[in-house]
Amino acid sequence: MQELPKPWFDIDGYRRTRLLEARYEAELARRFLDEGLTRNAAGKAYQAWKALVAAFAAENRDKLRDVFKGVVRLRVIG
């Protein structure tokens, strides 16, 4: 299994890996669907979609940064 590059170190490597992941997940979804395993196919299609959205987000992170301004602060309860 290939290790996912950290986006803050190598954004292009991260994007390429996510696109490759989306391709593999879509291929698995298609195989599952051909075998009649619709629930498994739906799960793999969802994983492919998540990887594809992550790749697009990495490619357009400057545009996203302009839209989603601000700082997120986490509150620790306890």
For residue 75, the Cα-to-chain-centroid distance in whole angstroms is 27
User: What percent of the chain has a predicted confidence (pLDDT) above 70?
Assistant: 88
The domain ranges of the chain are: 11-67
The answer on pLDDT for 70 being more than 60 is yes
Q: Is the separation of the CB atoms in 31 and 54 below 8 Å?
A: no
User: In which band, very low, low, confident or very high, does the pLDDT at 51 lie, cut at 50, 70 and 90?
Assistant: very high
User: Which pLDDT score is estimated for 6?
Assistant: 63
The answer on pLDDT for 15 being more than 60 is yes
